[in-house]
Amino acid sequence: MQVELFPDRLVVRSPGGLYGGVTIDELGEAGISSSRNAVLASLLADTYLPSSNELVAGNRSSGIPAMLAVARSRGLPRPSFRSSIASFMVTMARSELLSPETRRWIAALGAHLPTPAHQIAVAMLREDYLTNEMLRQWGVDRVTAGQVLRDLVEQGLALKEGGRRYARYVLDPAVSGRTEAPDLFSALPDEPTPDVAQALKARGEATTGELAEATGLSRRAVQNHLRDMMDAGTIDAIGPPEAPSVATGGSGQPADRTCEQAGIDHHQSTPV
């Protein structure tokens, strides 16, 4: 592990990127964790240091939430996370999120920012992209966060990328005055993105676990995709006849087995 201290930031690099289906946008959410060696991690999480009450390793998905809580309590920007095949990097700024310089920049925009949440959102956009979840981590409730982000888009301050569930927002280049640096790898063909819908269509019927294995996504990510598809009526969930809710698996989660719905406008229950 490498730790670099600069006048304006602290950078921590760790060999190896995020493992499994965990994504950058999921970091900080409760229960999000993935270990390369789950057995070893579990053993170390229950092993105490000699003559101490401290565990060798936490492995309780608490590290990043603790970082976010400290940054928020001290008025610092949200830590920035970057992951590649070779390494994982965390950058923590030493200046305030709403520093005097940032406040002057916000004032110069001449935008209508009626609440502190609006100012926090614009300040976070100046540093990096922003999502509803990231804004909620700074004390803004879900509904207010959504309204703030819509306000910024309507005022031409932010651009929305991605779908509704996985939407992220970036500062409009016209506002930032910056242009994207050329990507050295832009000429290379993009790697195909795993698609739950395509994987399910190819099989006709599959479990959540099978789709997670086929796409490389986490079970939770696959379940989110399946829930969206069921809400849109493009797939149907099937399970035991006695299941209390065939469409959601009876507990608010997608049923364990789903099949593509071709022209079917009602839920179908089929014994597995």
Q: Which pLDDT value is given to residue 166?
A: 74
In angstroms, rounded to a whole number, what is the distance separating the alpha carbons of residues 165 and 25?
Answer: 11
pTM: 0.54
Q: Which pLDDT value is given to residue 189?
A: 52
Residue 174 near residue 158, CB atoms below 8 Å = no
In a domain? residue 269: no
Least confident of 6-20, 33-47, 49-63, 179-193: 179-193
Q: Of 177, 212, 245, which residue sits at a domain end? A: 177
Q: Of 95, 113, 131, which residue sits at a domain end? A: 95
Q: How confident is the model at residue 261 (pLDDT cuts 50, 70, 90)?
A: very low
| pLDDT, averaged across the chain | 76
> Which domain covers residue 160, as residue numbers?
96-177
Q: Is the pLDDT of residue 172 over 60?
A: yes
Q: Is the pLDDT of residue 20 over 60?
A: yes
Q: What are the pLDDT digits (tens) for 142-167?
A: 899 999 999 999 999 999 988 766 78
Q: What is the mean pLDDT of residues 189-204?
A: 69
Number of domains in the chain: 3
Q: Of 74, 95, 116, which residue sits at a domain end? A: 95
Q: Which pLDDT value is given to residue 31?
A: 65
User: Are residues 85 and 24 part of one domain?
Assistant: yes
User: Are residues 17 and 53 part of one domain?
Assistant: yes
Higher pLDDT, 184 or 205: 205
How many Å is the Cα radius of gyration of the chain? 22
